[in-house]
A and B are shown apart, each in its own frame.
Chain A
Amino acid sequence: NAGVTQTPKFQVLKTGQSMTLQCAQDMNHEYMSWYRQDPGMGLRLIHYSVGAGITDQGEVPNGYNVSRSTTEDFPLRLLSAAPSQTSVYFCASSYSSRGPYEQYFGPGTRLTVT
């Protein structure tokens, strides 16, 4: 198993540009989520999904969109990038949201918005 994969690893955007961060898992996990981590801070939940076709907002959803058309993929779209979105983005997945299952995290995407 590759686990949770994220692309790209690094990205530089100009203010106002849009882009999609990719996340995929090959463990047939129901639950997937996106976090952002600012320097010296813990992770904050952006959006999550409990299954294909179902998404919901986390703590800091503004400026981001998600969709879950397949079990495997959970892309995160930045609609109009702002310098405040400079951060490291982590995708995570777990077997199910109905139970105390561990979450598996991807390696992260480091995004800089200038």
Chain B
Amino acid sequence: DAKTTQPTSMDCAEGRAANLPCNHSTISGNEYVYWYRQIHSQGPQYIIHGLKNNETNEMASLIITEDRKSSTLILPHATLRDTAVYYCIVRFYNTDKLIFGTGTRLQVFP
């Protein structure tokens, strides 16, 4: 699975959009980009995934560059409850092995 690079930490004001970048320059054609988050010490929670096209669901949007070497997770209106560690993971479509890095610690402040 391709490795990912994320900033260690980010801050965001409540109500503003949080944009979390991820670099995956060695991604191959059949690898998906996944985002999970872990609030405090709870089990990770799935957010969104995509292959080539941008994706949106009720939680977030995922923007993948045309060359697929990087992506951005967007939380459109961050709340205090979005404070968490966010993991960007790249994995082959036909395997369920998730390789976690250390993620980005997002702190949302009032």
Contact = CB atoms under 8 A, between A and B. Distances in A.
A35 B51 CA distance: 25
Interface in A44-80: 44-45, 48, 50, 58-59
A100 B42 contact: no
Interface residues of A, number: 32
Given A42-B100, A42-B101, A98 B42 contact: no
B43 A102 contact: no
B44 interface: yes
Contacts of A4: 43
A16 interface: no
Contacts of B81: none
Contacts of B34: 102
A83 B49 CA distance: 36
Interface of B: 32, 34, 36, 41-46, 49, 51, 87, 93-103
Given A42-B101, A42-B102, A107 B42 contact: yes
A105 B100 contact: no
Interface of A: 4, 31, 33, 35, 40-45, 48, 50, 58-59, 88, 90, 92, 94, 96-108, 110
A76 B43 CA distance: 17
Contacts of A97: 94-96
B4 to A, nearest CB: 10
A104 B46 contact: yes
A96 B95 CA distance: 9
A43 B100 contact: yes
Contact of A43 (B44, B51, B93, B94): B44
A39 B84 CA distance: 15
